């Protein structure tokens, strides 16, 4: 039987075989799914897990306004998530200026350490903008056709296999490098990917080095957790 609202429902076109997936902790399905009886709280919880999963920074947090993308007034629903214990809310310590907004962390070892550091005043997020949603991953099939050439069934299978082995960003960068070097072939792109996998990706190493420098301002407890 169709619901009364089905006539106004926007039809979902379906999942694709070239998109990324977000990891959801097993405890969400084992304990939380049966306990959460509010659709808005479920939205907030899943949205937070998705956002945290795609963040690359060592200290991962969200602000209340970050949730406005899914709820116009998320404050009350965030209170529910905090009371349930799925999210942690922490404000800067006494040494911080007045009016500093609270931050939300996932209730995980990483999140608990960061929330405690913020409350104790041993870590501060600074004055940077709120974190942004993860960008849409590049469609490697479209990138290939636009930059290398038409897809054959054999090449499509090769791209699917590559997506299981390499991050989508690597494939996009390798295709771009092939274009810059005027080597428009999948063999050349695949050779670049294999080299990065064996020798290490330069941008990934640079990112780790940068995060290591920034981590000096984080509390010792947070540092010990991140080194595990």
> Residue 132 has what pLDDT?
64
| Angstrom distance (rounded) from CA 172 to CA 162 | 11
- Name which of 52, 56, 45, 51 is nearest 109 in CA terms: 52
Domains of the chain, by residue range, sit at 31-134, 140-203
pLDDT beneath 70, residues of the chain: 1-7, 17-19, 93-99, 126-138, 202-228
| Angstrom distance (rounded) from CA 56 to CA 208 | 10
| Angstrom distance (rounded) from CA 125 to CA 103 | 9
**pLDDT digits 0-9 by tens, 167-213:** 888 898 999 999 999 999 999 999 999 999 888 875 554 444 444 43
**Single pTM value for the model:** 0.59
> Residue 156 has what pLDDT?
86
Q: Does domain 140-203 have CATH number 1.10.10?
A: yes
User: 3-state class of 152 per DSSP?
Assistant: coil
Across the chain, the runs of DSSP E, i.e. the strands, are 87-90, 103-106
- Cβ atoms within 10 Å of 176's Cβ, excluding its own: 14
31-134 and 140-203 agree in CATH topology: yes
Query: Hey, what's the torsion of the CAs at 134, 136, 141, 144, to 10 degrees?
Result: -80
Pick the CATH number of 31-134 from 1.10.8, 1.10.10, 1.10.3470, 3.30.413: 1.10.10
User: 3-state class of 62 per DSSP?
Assistant: strand
> Residue 3 has what pLDDT?
45
**Using CB atoms within 10 A of its CB, is residue 139 exposed (0-12), middle (13-18) or buried (19+)?**
middle
| Angstrom distance (rounded) from CA 61 to CA 129 | 12
């Amino acid at each position: 039987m169709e619901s009364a609202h089905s006539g106004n429902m926007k039809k979902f076109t379906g999942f694709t075989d070239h998109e990324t997936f977000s990891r959801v902790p097993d405890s969400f399905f084992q304990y939380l799914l049966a306990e959460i009886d509010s659709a808005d709280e479920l939205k907030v919880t899943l949205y937070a897990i998705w956002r945290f999963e795609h963040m690359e920074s060592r200290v991962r947090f969200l602000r209340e306004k970050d949730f406005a993308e899914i709820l116009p007034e998320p404050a009350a629903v965030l209170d529910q998530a905090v009371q349930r214990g799925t999210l942690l809310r922490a404000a800067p310590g006494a040494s911080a200026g007045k009016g500093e907004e609270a931050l939300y962390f996932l209730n995980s070892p990483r999140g608990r350490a960061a929330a405690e550091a913020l409350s104790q005043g041993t870590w501060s997020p600074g004055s940077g903008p709120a974190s942004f949603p993860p960008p849409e991953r590049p469609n490697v099939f479209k990138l290939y056709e636009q930059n290398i050439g038409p897809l054959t069934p054999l090449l499509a299978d090769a791209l699917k296999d590559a997506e299981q082995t390499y991050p989508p960003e690597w494939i996009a960068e390798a295709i771009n490098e092939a274009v810059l070097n005027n080597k428009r072939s999948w063999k050349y792109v695949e050779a670049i990917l294999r080299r990065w996998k064996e020798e290490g990706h330069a941008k990934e190493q640079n990112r780790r080095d940068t995060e290591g420098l920034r981590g000096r301002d984080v509390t010792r407890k947070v540092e010990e957790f991140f080194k595990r």
